[in-house]
Amino acid sequence: MKQNREIVNKLRSSGLRPTEQRIRIAEFLFKREKTFHFTVENLNKIINKKRNFKKISLATIYNTTEAFQKAGHLKKILTNNTTSYYDTNTSSHHHFYDDETNELTDINFKEIELTKLPHAPKGKKITGCEVIINLRKS
């Protein structure tokens, strides 16, 4: 029950109402040891695969994922295949993206050295830079 309270507090502290669906999704996403990369469609299949729970609609999963991302609990990652991926690791880091399996793998932020960045457009400032390296079988 303590972990459930932690999830409820996490949601409330970021201005999100702790509904039954949000709590269930948050427990699945945030009660894990390793980083989890996913698409909304993938998360929908995994969460609704468990028969002992009420089904959560795809729209609810999408809206909850977007709300978690806006609250800073998830990072949104865009790849060149126009699919949005989400990452439970919100710290600065880079990714390998496998074009054939559609999998993301973390790369430590310190393993890539950027020596030059372009100037930001007028009225804008650069707030971060993350690299996605695409992979294919050789």
pLDDT at 128: 84
pLDDT at 90: 92
Q: What angle do CA 94, 87, 82 make, to 5 degrees?
A: 80
Residues of the chain with pLDDT under 70: 1-3, 51-52
Close Cβ partners of 119 (under 8 Å, ≥ 6 residues apart): none
pLDDT at 78: 85
Asked if 6 contacts 27 with a C-beta cutoff of 8 angstroms, the reply is: no
Closest CA to 87 of 72, 100, 109, 108: 72
pLDDT at 95: 93
pLDDT at 1: 47
Structure tokens of 37? Answer: 């990369």
Q: How many beta carbons lie within 10 A of that of residue 71, not counting itself?
A: 14
Query: What three-state secondary structure class fits 129?
Result: coil
Asked if 97 contacts 79 with a C-beta cutoff of 8 angstroms, the reply is: yes
Strands 84-87 and 132-135: unpaired
CA 34 vs. chain centroid, Å, equals 12
